[in-house]
């Protein structure tokens, strides 16, 4: 089993609808492929951690990195892990219209992101925290208007 962390930039800002569509597609496909992890999105900044078997994860990363919705995909780490750290696949972002989102499976408000699980090494947990900082900035609490 391996995990991959990358950061990227959306080619153009993703709308609530774009994000919701991505959430639905990824939840469906990732469940089928036994891929878990978390995706952060804010103001065009994207970061994602995915974990799963190397045979599925490497090709998936290839597909994701060629996805036309984002560019400057920078793979920060890809390495073997002993166990998963995420129970499923979820996505954290600030919807412009948060009302419908709270109930969506796999959706998280950035303020509700839990600290990196202790099953990650401290180095990987720090990397995830840095990535979160890079996406949401210092204060993920206050949703900024675009």
Partner 1 sequence: MREQQLQDILRHMPAGVATLQGPELRYGFVNDAMQAVLGSPITEGQSVMEQPGIIPADLLDVMQQVYQRGQPYIAKAYCLPLADNNDGTTAPQRYYDVALEPVREGGSQVTGLLLFAMDVTGQEEARQRTHELAIETRRLDTRLRVLTETVPQITFTVDAAGTYEYVSPQWHYFTGQPTTADLNIIWPLLIHPDDRLRVLYQTEAARSAGVGWSYEYRLRRHDGQYRWMLSRALPELHAPDKAVFWHGALTEIHDQRELAEVLRRGEAELRFLADSIPELIWTATAEGFIDYYNKYSGEYSGLSGEELGPAGWISLLSPAEQAGAARRWIHSVATGESYEGLYRMRRHDGRYRWHIIRARQLTDARGLRWFGACTDVDDQHRLRQVLQTQYDELARTNRDLDTFVYTASHDLKQPLLNLRGLFDELRRTASFNDPQEEEIVVMVDDALYQLDLTLQDLAATVQDQRGLSAPAEPLDLRSVTEEVLLGLRTQVQESGAVLELDFEQVPTLTYGRANLRSILHNLLSNALKFAHPERTPHVLLRSTLADSGNPILIVQDNGRGMILPEEPAPVFQPFTRQHPQIGGAGVGMYLVQRIISSRGGHLEVASVIDEGTTFIIHWFDALNA
Give the span between the Cα atoms of 119 and 59, in whole angstroms: 25
Residue 124, binding choice from partner 1, ligand FMN, none, Cβ under 5 to 8 Å by partner class: partner 1
- Which residues of the shown chain bind partner 1 in the complex (CB under 8 A)? 7, 76-77, 79, 121-127, 129-131, 133-134, 138
Q: How do strand 36-42 and strand 45-52 relate by DSSP bridges?
A: antiparallel
Q: How far is the CB of 44 from ligand FMN (least distance, A)?
A: 11
50 binding ligand FMN? (CB under 6 A): yes
Q: Around 31, how many Cα atoms within 13 Å sit in the side-chain half-sphere?
A: 9
User: By C-beta, is 96 or 126 nearer to partner 1?
Assistant: 126
The reply on whether position 46 binds ligand FMN by CB under 6 A is yes
CB under 8 Å to 125, separation ≥6 — which residues?
A: 115, 116, 117, 118
Distance of closest approach, residue 1 Cβ to partner 1, in angstroms:
18
Helix (H) / strand (E) element for 54: namely helix 54-66
In angstroms, give the least distance from the CB of 20 to partner 1.
Answer: 27
Interface with ligand FMN, residue 26, by CB under 6 A: yes
Count of C-beta atoms within a 10 Å radius of residue 52: 22
């Amino acid at each position: 089993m391996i995990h991959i962390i990358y950061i990227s930039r959306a080619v153009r800002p993703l709308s609530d609808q774009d994000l919701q569509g991505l959430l639905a597609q990824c939840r469906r496909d990732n469940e089928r492929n036994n891929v878990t992890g978390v995706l952060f999105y804010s103001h065009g900044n994207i970061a994602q951690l995915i974990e799963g078997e190397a045979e599925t994860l490497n090709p998936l990363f290839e597909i994701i990195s060629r996805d036309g919705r984002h560019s400057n995909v920078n793979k920060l780490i890809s390495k073997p892990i002993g166990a998963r750290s995420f129970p499923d696949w979820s996505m954290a972002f600030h919807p412009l219209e948060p009302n419908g989102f709270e109930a969506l499976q796999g959706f998280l408000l950035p303020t509700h992101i839990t600290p990196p699980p202790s099953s990650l090494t401290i180095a990987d947990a720090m990397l995830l925290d840095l990535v979160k900082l890079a996406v949401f900035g210092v204060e993920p609490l206050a949703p900024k208007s675009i």
